[in-house]
Structure 1
């Protein structure tokens, strides 16, 4: 079993301001999770932190995306850190931050080989910048890391695509807008909406994904977890709320299967905004569920 390392990426660079002159609160997530005992529950002394550049709500003139130059600089630093951990055969358990932290992870994975990406999210985040009202890269990051978009972000270190489009599984979306869904439907990625996931069965979905990882002889796969994949009733502290979503029973079933795979190379958790969970109850429930499932799964690997 790989040695666990908690990695803190407290970034909000991929989101718009929730209100004028107010930064998104998600950059406080690593400290918030520590306060609610995630670090203690995972029982590791290996903790690394990389602070993000200063936030700006202005769009880059070349890409029309918020914080582009900061995202590139941060992504390079993140990739260096993750690459080192993977080279040491360690398991990065990354705490964001918004979904833009995937940029650094994806660069590192490309530097190491050919990897799959299981993108577990209440949105596809597979969107062209022309469809974005905010310019926040968080809403288009799955598309960018598979090589779609301006080369300033898609071709850092001349590594485009960081993840091959056909190695992306986009699972859990419940934003049922035809133009929005067509972006990923018209790609080579595998798209499994929340409705399709429930109709076809969680175990069938995960078995198909893991089978593909083996059949393609991928070097491993990365797990991206956006907490807005959870039902809005149990996880309302997110930037883009949508009705419905996974129950903890469904979420734990998915993550349990994935956590037990020896092909899982690392994971990241994003979007839970401490500013939107004043009592900490939603965070506590999330920590209890994910750490219990992760720890049990790791024991089952032994």
Structure 2
């Protein structure tokens, strides 16, 4: 099984850009993969010693105002993106590379998990300012990137609940929620989290001991999964100090706390993919935020 201990692991990453905001509240995130490249992420990883193959971008799908259909918006376009992501991730992983997937909104992670599930079970370390356990029938917005975990666990819209697999993409024991703001959860989400007995480490606990909490979370997930997807939604960061995320969160982690967590998590044996989501370059006109986050990612992955 996967060890939480830090390892001197040299991996070859296969970068896939997912320029989509179809599952989001608004446009902007579809520009993120290009912005990462413009700010030198690939070159910086290479200079730091990481091997990276850039496989380019998938189809662009920009947010559009859409009516609610069975409680969700634009499900067909979100599903199309997820299936394209699944195909790309399966190809990259099949070539022996670790997918480094640059979203896009956080429905991107459904496609990453679906692609890896074609060759067996997988776990998910969900480093996010939310737990994304909204449900179509209860959501006020119908926006699908607020429901990612619900769909990964087999609930919600039929268009996203299995993505070609026989049954749910993940079991409850294969999910580790990490870094979320407890105040962001409504009663329904707390009820679901408790009912499913999902493992969860909220932001205040992470802040108390970033390295220790990350190691503990990885170790716990390792009991259920030999392969782990690391999902990194930048809204885990406090918007007041680091306003890069598409949707604001004001009780998030500091950048240095996230850096410690990522360095711990990214060195775990069994890391099967890394997904970075919710970057909106419109919030970063001078590029300073992307540059700072680039350096954090490079320090963790290289």
Task: Give the TM-score taking structure 1 as reference length.
Answer: 0.88
After TM superposition, the structure 1 = structure 2 runs for residues 124-203 of structure 1, keeping only pairs within 5 Å, are 124-176=131-183, 177-179=185-187, 180-199=189-208, 201-203=209-211
Q: For residues 292 and 225 of structure 1, what CA distance do their matches in structure 2 show?
A: 15
1:225 is aligned, of 227, 232, 246, to 232
Gaps in structure 2 of 5+ consecutive residues = 1-9, 47-51
- Counterpart secondary structure, 2:118: helix
- Counterpart secondary structure, 1:239: coil
Q: Aligned-pair distance for 1:42?
A: 1.6
Contact 2:99 / 2:273 at 8 angstroms: preserved in 1? Answer: yes
Q: For residues 142 and 239 of structure 2, what CA distance do their matches in structure 1 show?
A: 24
Structure with the larger helix share:
1
Task: Give 1:116's aligned residue.
Answer: 123
Q: For residues 125 and 54 of structure 1, what CA distance do their matches in structure 2 show?
A: 21
CA deviations on 1:256-282 (whole Å, 9 max, x unpaired) are: 111111210111111111111111111
Task: Give 2:79's aligned residue.
Answer: 72
Q: For residues 3 and 108 of structure 1, what CA distance do their matches in structure 2 show?
A: 18
The answer to whether 1:8 aligns with 2:8 is no
Task: Give 1:298's aligned residue.
Answer: none
Q: For residues 140 and 9 of structure 1, what CA distance do their matches in structure 2 show?
A: 18
CA deviations on 1:229-284 (whole Å, 9 max, x unpaired) are: 11223321323212131122211111111111121011111111111111111111
- Counterpart secondary structure, 2:19: coil
1:244/1:66 CA distance change after superposition, 3 Å = same
1:246 is aligned, of 253, 264, 267, to 253
- Counterpart secondary structure, 2:56: strand
- Residue range with higher mean Cα deviation, 206-215 or 127-136: 206-215
Q: For residues 146 and 192 of structure 1, what CA distance do their matches in structure 2 show?
A: 18
CA deviations on 1:169-212 (whole Å, 9 max, x unpaired) are: 1111115144143332332321211123334x333333333323
1:27 is aligned, of 5, 27, 30, to 30
Q: For residues 153 and 178 of structure 1, what CA distance do their matches in structure 2 show?
A: 22
1:96 is aligned, of 93, 99, 103, to 103
Q: Aligned-pair distance for 1:106?
A: 1.6
Q: For residues 197 and 54 of structure 1, what CA distance do their matches in structure 2 show?
A: 34
Task: Give 1:20's aligned residue.
Answer: none
